[in-house]
Amino acid sequence: MKVKIHTLFQYLLETTDAAPEAIVGFSLSGAPVLGDYLADLDPELSLDWNNRGFRDLPELRDHVLAQAGLTDLCQREDVLITAGAAEANYLSIMQLLQPGDEIVIETPGWPQAEVLARAVGARIKRVTRRESEGWRLPLDQVADAVTSRTRMIFISNPNNPTGDLLGQDELEELVQIAAAADAWLLVDEVYAGLEWDAPRSPSIAGMYRRGITTGSVSKALGLQGLRTGWLICQDADLVMDAVILRENSSEIMNIMGEMIAEIALRPERYGSAMEKARREGAANLAEMNEWVAAQDGLTWHPPRAGLIGLGRLPHGIDSDAFARRLLADPYRTFLLPGSAYDQPGHIRLGVGGGASVNLAKGLGRVSQALADWQF
Ligand SMILES: Cc1ncc(COP(=O)(O)O)c(C=O)c1O
């Protein structure tokens, strides 16, 4: 088994040193600073392991259940704290998929499941979200893709990169589809909490015994660098399998990540942090909508949730070439090309970064690059 590079990561690797002057691609809220937590951190905290369990701090696991609306539906034991939602996805996929198993994934979608499934030797079945249908997930096609060999359905809700959102009814339908094949249903909920025109969707771990919720403090709270996320599942064997795989990779959580995440998710802090993230995200989104409307030939379906969406480039512009030119002089502006998601005619537009992001600067440069491209 060898894990191969995906075009999305390839692009990030190739552009890391570009030192852009503006970014129009932030997928997370403005990041807090360490000083915001110092008053609540104990200077005598031992930097050894937490000594409280391999699933990590019990009170952090309680907060995780609370923010997901799962306090009455799941137990502390159903939660494993991980190095981000990425590790939670990794542990689940690697412990569940065997060579020859089928996995149903969405496209466009977060590429991690496809990359890992390919490495395992699983069979990948793609379901296409169509722009003409507002990037909705076609549930009839998910049902058609599922067979008796389907081991897992993997989606992100809200979806990366389109910002589409499945509500309760659609999730219930998805559960029925998965249950009919006794398949695992992994819903990556890393963008949950920033829904713009709907309530937060229910977490899948509370809806289905084989439902796996993954999430983290990375996106709405902007705490990506803590590398702290979670896996929630009512199936005790799956959680234990994840603990076992983690014991053989990173072994335990990093103590600072779990301690700061526990503080950040305390109800008195979490509520106001989310309120700020919503306010700033909504303001940036309004600015982005206004800007898109003013561009010739550029369109998008604004995200229904989360901080990213796909913009369709004017006809004939290749996203990879455009993103690379935009990153060079005189524009020096970063965004992700849609080619990272098999969408070569699109760009990923992000409204994260909070109040200090200065979206106008980057958007002005994108306008200029678009204008220059056409002449
Ligand atoms: C859908 C999705 N899942 C997982 C991740 C990784 O998040 P984390 O920082 O929690 O590992 C990302 C990051 O962009 C993402 O978009």
Structure tokens, 213: 């919720």
- Ligand 1 geometric centre to CA of 86 (Å): 6
Which of 106, 155, 160 to mutate for ligand 1's pocket (most ligand atoms within 8 Å of CB)? 160
pLDDT at 1: 82
Domain boundaries, the chain: 7-32+270-374, 47-268
pTM of the predicted protein model: 0.97
Residue 85 CA, closest ligand 1 atom number: 10
CA distances from 233 to 38, 80, 118, 191, 253 (A): 32, 9, 24, 18, 18
- For residues 68 and 242, give the distance between their C-alpha atoms in angstroms, rounded to a whole number: 20
Q: What is the pLDDT of residue 60?
A: 98
CB-based burial, 39-63: b 16+ in 10 Å, e otherwise: eeeeeeeeeeebeeebbbbeebbeb
Distance 4 CA to ligand 1 centre (A): 18
Distance (Å) from CA 300 to ligand 1 centroid: 22
Contact by Cβ (8 Å): 104, 145: yes
Distance 190 CA to ligand 1 centre (A): 6
Give the residue, out of 110, 212, 224, 250, with the most ligand 1 atoms within 8 A of its beta carbon, to mutate for a pocket test. Answer: 110
Give residue 8 CA to ligand 1 midpoint distance, Å.
Answer: 13
The pLDDT-based confidence of 344 (bands split at 50, 70, 90) is very high
Domain 7-32+270-374: CATH class, spelled out: alpha beta
Digit-coded pLDDT (tens) for 285-319: 999 999 999 999 999 999 999 999 999 999 999 99
Domains 7-32+270-374 and 47-268 share a fold: no
CATH 3.40.50.10420 given to domain 47-268 = no
What CA–CA distance (Å, rounded) separates 349 from 337? Answer: 9
Average pLDDT, stretch 191-198?
97
What is the tens place of the pLDDT at every residue in 33-86?
999 999 999 999 999 999 999 999 999 999 999 999 999 999 999 999 999 999
- d(CA 304, ligand 1 centre) in Å: 18
Query: Mean pLDDT score of the chain, rounded to an integer?
Result: 97
Query: Is there an atom of ligand 1 within 6 Å of 309 CB?
Result: no
Tens of pLDDT, residue by residue over 120-178, are 999 999 999 999 999 999 999 999 999 999 999 999 999 999 999 999 999 999 999 99
